[in-house]
Amino acid sequence: MAGVAGPTPGSATESEALRRYVRGKQRAMDGQYARAADDIDAALRLDPSSTALRATRARIAGAAGDLPRAKAEWEAVLAQDPTDLQALISVGVAAFDAGQPSRTAALLGAAWIRLRLEGFAPISDAGRAAVGAALARSLFRLGFDEAGLEVAAVALAVPAESVAEQRGDGIDAASRAAAQLALESGEAALRAHRPDVAFALFARSVELTPHARTVALAAYAQLLAGDSNGARATLGVVMDDGPWRDAERTALASWLLTSLGGDARARETLALAAIAAVPIGSRAGEVTPEAHARIARLMVAAGDPDAGAAELDSAIADGAVDQATLEAAFRRSGDNDAPVRAHAAVSAHPECLRDACRALVRASSDLRTLRVAIDALPADSIRESIAAGVLATVRNPGAAWRRADGAAELNPSRAPLEAMLLAAVSAEDPALVARAAASAPVDLDVDASWHASLACAFAETGATTEAEQSLARAELLAESMTRMPSGLRRSLADAHALVDGRAAEGSARARAEGALARDDAVSAVAELLLAQSIDPDDAASQALLIGLLPRTEGPRAVAEWLAVQLARSPNDPLLWQPAVMQAASGGRAADALARVDARLALDPQDTLALPWREALLRITGRSADAAAAARIRVESLPSGPRRSLEEADNELQFGSPESSVDALGRFYESAYPPPTSMRAAALD
């Protein structure tokens, strides 16, 4: 409170303020925080300019657990005396907790210089570790990696045992905090091109709190430092921990094996794990079919593609029909033979149709070849379901719905119904999801995985209430099962993520969202890259990643990442939208349009790029062509509320209000009540 005069020296006011101050401090020492606060508040009313009183009031508030009041008082102290060491530290740590790295670095940086000059005498070991960690991590987030490493070295020199003893919250908490700082410091050292320092820091982190990801990073640092033998030894630690039991650790191990160009010892470990994974007689395999498939994929990364392919076939035969497993199998088979494998998988596990169709498209290098191979399959409902699912995946909902609906009429079983759901999601029409649900036979009403599929489809088309009801039904049915299949567990997790609108707890995307909440974009990008390697169909993680990459890796990072991904999966629908938008934002819309037109000239039935062609036509000023493309797109939609709404919008946009009113009439006459979001769009 600068500018406020204190009491006259020697006056009764000063004496009373001093008396209250002394009594308040004594009461605080006795643990009487409420009465101590009353005394100091009274003293402050008499002497509002006293920094000593405000500092004491801040300490009492902190001891009593009133952190907002403590922060406010320290802020007031800092306003009166910007050099007050305790105020710098207290407000700086609060700024770190609030996710304000710039202010943290400014305040704690000033405090750190003074502490270092005084040999850290004014602060305990635990305080030095805490202040150093907050300052170093803030510097990392601001891009000052070298400065952060210098501070982190001092903080990490404090033994965790000393911190635990002084703080009184146990060695585990102190070890975790030090391990996290060592991990972030190691990542900063990698960014600073100091792999030897990075390895030492990662090793320290693993020593304090073992974690597979940190071990993998340590091996990577050894590789960058030119120590391939050391990296292989560290890889042995990763492999001995059975990384195939977890999707994230599998991704890390696979990345490390690929970086090393394979590894003989890892091949031996994986061969033994594959033997244990195969059921023999009445003995079940030691791992799930999905884990067996991860062993197979690791064998390929370890340098034994033939053995990996054989184990992949075995895992699929045992029931591993998740998208990652199927995609690996389809890539090896090629566009001509992959549909045969998809037919076998869907025949045995019709609930996997969605994963099978998405895997076919992601693995495909030539959609025209893929379509021909699908049509060459035996004429049955499975073929029609696969054909419909692939059409839905490549953005052709009308043709997809017709084939799926026709297959369901002839054989209303799980596969055709799943194809109807895929077509409904592609059309973004919950009314079509409801039609698929109404077409289901009675036996599916007690199938938990079917209701999980419905929950996903309703959620993806904006029907929140129906999604929640379907998910509740799926969970109720699942609870009555004595043993829940891994596929159902995965389906329920997917449904929850879509219905709840947030990532599964503990997942890479959830950790990324947590890092973003702390304004830690660098850690968020690392987690999102991992999330994308595990589940490339996670649109939310992809959108976050594309938004963050320019902040952490520079303006060209998104274009470079997309180029790498499209080279591997040129027909991935999720990659096309950001690729087109990147081209448009970079002033290359005309070039992007020319590439799309060239693609369509080679394959006129290729619908994958049509939605983005329409957007590019608008961006390049070809309004008449854009209007024609919009009409073709709308006409390709299945009949339903979504098509009527799109027709209304299109007609209004291109000058026919009467036709727009007619289309809105059809929208409101729908047998299925459209969700709120669609009704709001219609009202607009």
Instruction: Judge residue 226's burial from the number of C-beta atoms within 10 Å of its C-beta, 0-12 exposed, 13-18 middle, 19 or more buried.
Output: exposed
Question: Facing residues of 280 across strands?
Answer: 283
CA distance 238 to 213: 9
Q: What is the pLDDT of residue 1?
A: 43
Instruction: Give the sign of the dihedral formed by CA 497, CA 503, CA 504, CA 505.
Output: negative
Nearest to 145 by CA among 92, 191, 113: 191
Q: What is the pLDDT of residue 675?
A: 63
Helix (H) or strand (E) run with residue 153 in it: helix 145-156
Residue 595 lies in a domain: yes
Q: What is the pLDDT of residue 365?
A: 94
Q: What is the pLDDT of residue 8?
A: 64
- This prediction has a pTM of 0.80
User: Mind listing the pLDDT tens digit for each residue in 627-644?
Assistant: 888 888 888 888 887 877
Distance of CA 323 to the CA centre of its chain: 18
Residue 554 lies in a domain: yes
CA distance 226 to 220: 10
Residue 654 phi, psi (nearest 5): -110, 25
Residue 496 lies in a domain: no
Q: What is the pLDDT of residue 3?
A: 46
**In sequence order, what are the residues at sequence separation of 6 or more whose Cβ sits closer than 8 angstroms to the Cβ of residue 301?**
253, 254, 257, 258, 262
Residue 403 lies in a domain: no
Residue 561 lies in a domain: yes
Residue 302 lies in a domain: no
Residue 249 lies in a domain: no
CATH of the domain at 574: 1.25.40
Q: What is the pLDDT of residue 580?
A: 82
Q: What is the pLDDT of residue 2?
A: 44
Q: What is the pLDDT of residue 37?
A: 76
Number of domains in the chain: 1
Residue 366 lies in a domain: no
Which residues of the chain fall below pLDDT 50?
Answer: 1-3, 282
Residue 587: which domain range?
A: 547-683
Q: What is the pLDDT of residue 178?
A: 93
